[in-house]
Amino acid sequence: MNQLVFTALPGIPMIDTGDNLIEIVVNSLRQAEIQLADGDILVLAQKIISKAEGRWVNLTAVVPGEEALALAAETNKDPRLVEMILQESSRVSRKRPGLIIVEHRLGFICANAGIDHSNVRGEGDWVLLLPADPDKSAQQLREGITSVSGARIGVAIVDSHGRAWRNGTVGITIGLAGLPGVVNCVGEVDLFGYKLVATEIGAADELAAGASLLMGQVDEATPAVHVRGFPYALREAELGELLRDPEMDLYR
């Protein structure tokens, strides 16, 4: 029976623009006395990726346009923040006072374009945008860490999102390299001999949810998790395979 083990990596410092995440993660693995092996996965919170990549915005420098001003009035939100939400989105899906649901420019549906106020910077009116290209970020991290360790690994970048019909946030994958986003079980046979005709497993999102339990949402300061025992074969993949085709989505 496979054993799936999640380990929160220690000693990750507060990240700032230009910090070398490859070096930081490798040092954290050494501190945890973990030697990477083929099939291991590193799950990283998007926030440290965004910080290292300089995805900060100071709202004092943002000038909201007419659309942002109108939407801010409808939702009782800061017009400067609404302007950034619109810039990071391809369309507004839903809105109500205090909340704007959008289709992010990366293709997924989320609240407020994933723009974050919490655990960002201590002074000033700063917000943090999602990474510009999470798949690329994951690939660069994988290549850099593999060059040091020699192990064939996967890297997932995750964020916390709400879900339709259910309360509470849960970790989902927004960028990946070297691991499957979806595992297709169509054609496999269950315990009773029934051949599966539609089952697909959101493996990367299940991984993200598990890692997020260790990452936490408040002051845990554990934005990197090592995973061993992932039950599926590693392969090349990208975020797109996790996103449902709009023509197949009944809830857009």
Amino acid at 210: G
CATH of the domain at 84: 3.90.1660.10
Residue 154 lies in a domain: yes
Final residue in a domain of this structure, among 127, 149, 170: 127
Q: How far apart are CA 201 and CA 240, in angstroms?
A: 15
Residue 249 lies in a domain: no
Residue 42 lies in a domain: yes
Judge contact between 181 and 173, C-beta under 8 A. yes
Q: Are residue 190 and residue 137 in the same domain, yes or no?
A: yes
**Residue 120: predicted pLDDT:** 63
In this structure, what token pair is assigned to residue 94? 């839903």
Q: Are residue 146 and residue 90 in the same domain, yes or no?
A: no
In this structure, what token pair is assigned to residue 104? 């992010």
**Residue 219: predicted pLDDT:** 58
Final residue in a domain of this structure, among 71, 98, 127: 127
Final residue in a domain of this structure, among 77, 105, 127: 127
Q: Return the DSSP state at 76.
A: T
Q: Where does residue 236 rank: exposed (0-12), middle (13-18), buried (19+ CB within 10 A)?
A: exposed
**Residue 180: predicted pLDDT:** 97
CATH of the domain at 23: 3.30.1330.100
Q: Are residue 77 and residue 118 in the same domain, yes or no?
A: yes
Residue 61 lies in a domain: yes
Q: Are residue 62 and residue 30 in the same domain, yes or no?
A: no
**Residue 249: predicted pLDDT:** 74
Q: Are residue 167 and residue 82 in the same domain, yes or no?
A: no
Backbone angles phi, psi at 139, to 5 degrees: -65, -45
Residue 247 lies in a domain: no
CA-CA-CA-CA torsion sign (37, 204, 104, 8): negative
252 residues of the chain, pLDDT tens digit each: 578 999 999 999 999 999 999 999 999 999 999 999 999 999 999 999 999 999 999 999 999 999 999 999 999 999 999 999 999 999 999 999 999 999 999 999 999 999 987 656 656 689 999 999 999 999 999 999 999 999 999 999 999 998 888 899 999 999 999 999 999 776 676 777 777 666 788 999 999 999 999 997 655 579 999 999 999 999 999 999 999 887 777 766
Q: Are residue 182 and residue 211 in the same domain, yes or no?
A: yes
**Residue 200: predicted pLDDT:** 84
In this structure, what token pair is assigned to residue 31? 């501190």
Range of the domain at 152: 5-55+130-242
Core vs surface per residue 1-22: b (16+ CB within 10 A) or e: eeeeebbbbeebeebeeeeebb
Residue 171 lies in a domain: yes
**Residue 96: predicted pLDDT:** 95
Q: Are residue 163 and residue 44 in the same domain, yes or no?
A: yes
Count of domains forming the chain = 2
Residue 110 lies in a domain: yes
